[in-house]
Amino acid sequence: MQRIILHIDLDSFYASLEELRHEDIRGKPVVICVFSGRSEDSGTVSTANYKARELGIKSGMPISLAKRLAKDKDVAFLQNDIEYYRTVSDRIMEIIEEEADIFQQVSIDEAYLDVTKKSMDKWDNAKKIAEKIKKKIKEQEGLTCSVGIGPNKLVAKMASKHQKPNGLTIIKDAEVKEFFENLPVSKIHGIGEKTTKILDELGIKTAKELASSDIKILEKKFGKNKSKLLLDKSQGIDDSPVEQKDRQQISRLGTLKEDTDNIEVIFEKIKELATDMKKKIEKVSFRTVSIITIDTALKTQTRSETVQVTNNLDSVLPITKSLLENFLKENSEKKLRRVGIRVSNLVYKKEQKTIGDF
């Protein structure tokens, strides 16, 4: 049976989340940073939205260089808030996993889905699955994603990059050769700068040239295994499976009716979120419970405690209240806007390999 694989890529995920939280930066170039604290310009760029990328700002760039590129332009530079991003990512990955035969999350904002059975081996059905995922993510989280559909993981990944943001690209079996052959080798997923430079020195610039190159020459430069891998990539060949991996945390986050530091009001919200989470952990236990707080300045913090292995959320609610009390004492000047609960270090029952069945 021909496989049908989806690759989901959330569009400029961190920056898009910050645009949702900060109305005043919507539509502007947005740069998410990891500040080192040595100075206001020290540190690196974590990611940037598409408008910031048009200015030449990209991931891994020193913040000082990014600010020079942004000089005299209205660009928002914000601190990375990874706890918040992970919490939203958890919710989105649950949405995606519901539509998969096999689900593999590969990063905070990317996942592969094998939908061969769900799509009944039909490309049109796979497209409907992709459209359903895109719609649910937009409606529930206000975010867009780009989806690639192909006969393997490599082709699906390349397809998702083809139209960004908010794209949906299908590359069927018969279209793979034509799609790949005119690509620069630098654009093929998994071929980095060093390899591209060596290939260029060999006069190999496109995927078509790489596919027709002499394997013996490649082996002298890269060795037998990598040469075979390069030839496969140049032709869109990838036999690697979509591998289901056990999730290691589950969280719920909710908005309070009004900004408050009233512990009883906040704790009621935590209990409400815990009730919603119960059905998600029926077949797993956990070792760690955490509270997540987001204050009126939109700063996210967590407090955690290790517990005896359990799947009884009610039994650890007093711990979450204690964590909340300590947090409020330490941050008496702050009011909370959102609050959440997380269980992590999950322990799966022997017969239970995933939580996708929930």
* Residue listed under structure tokens 């070792």: 287
109 bridge partner residues: none
| Domain extents in the chain | 5-11+83-172, 15-82, 176-234, 249-348
8-12, 22-26, 39-43, 48-52: which has the minimum mean pLDDT? 39-43
Q: Mean pLDDT over residues 95-112, rounded?
A: 96
Query: What are the tens digits of pLDDT across the range 20-46?
Result: 999 999 999 999 999 988 888 899 999
Sign, Cα dihedral of 260, 84, 165, 116: negative
Q: Which CATH architecture has domain 5-11+83-172?
A: 2-Layer Sandwich (3.30)
* Contacts for 144 with CB less than 8 Å, ≥ 6 apart: 10, 11, 16, 134, 137, 138, 165, 166
CATH number attached to the domain at 15-82: 3.40.1170.60
What is residue 247's predicted lDDT score, i.e. its pLDDT? 81
User: What would the two tokens of residue 19 be?
Assistant: 């645009």
User: What would the two tokens of residue 317 be?
Assistant: 């609610």
Q: Which CATH architecture has domain 249-348?
A: 2-Layer Sandwich (3.30)
Query: What are the tens digits of pLDDT across the range 149-164?
Result: 999 999 999 999 999 9
User: 350: pLDDT confidence band, cut at 50, 70 and 90?
Assistant: low
For the cut 50, the answer to whether the pLDDT of residue 357 exceeds it is: no
DSSP summary character for residue 240: P
For the cut 60, the answer to whether the pLDDT of residue 356 exceeds it is: no
Q: Mean pLDDT over residues 108-134, rounded?
A: 96
35-39, 86-90, 200-204: which has the minimum mean pLDDT? 35-39
**Percent of the chain residues past pLDDT 90, beyond the cut:** 85
User: 169: pLDDT confidence band, cut at 50, 70 and 90?
Assistant: very high
What is residue 257's predicted lDDT score, i.e. its pLDDT? 95
- DSSP string for residues in 150-168: ESSHHHHHHHHHHSTTT-E
For the cut 50, the answer to whether the pLDDT of residue 92 exceeds it is: yes
Question: How far is residue 177's CA from residue 338's CA, in Å, rounded to a whole number?
Answer: 49
User: 352: pLDDT confidence band, cut at 50, 70 and 90?
Assistant: very low
Tell me the one-letter amino acid at 352: Q
For the cut 90, the answer to whether the pLDDT of residue 141 exceeds it is: yes
Instruction: Tell me the average pLDDT of the chain.
Output: 93
* Residue listed under structure tokens 């034509």: 178
Query: What are the tens digits of pLDDT across the range 248-300?
Result: 888 888 999 999 999 999 999 999 999 999 888 888 999 999 999 999 988 89
The residue annotated as part of the active site, out of 19, 97, 110, 141, is 110
SS3 state of residue 259:
strand
For the cut 50, the answer to whether the pLDDT of residue 351 exceeds it is: no
Cβ–Cβ under 8 Å, residues 270 and 320: yes
Question: How far is residue 19's CA from residue 22's CA, in Å, rounded to a whole number?
Answer: 5
**Residue 258 appears among annotated catalytic residues:** no
Domain 176-234, classified CATH 1.10.150.20, yes or no: yes
Q: Mean pLDDT over residues 93-109, rounded?
A: 95
What is residue 159's predicted lDDT score, i.e. its pLDDT? 97
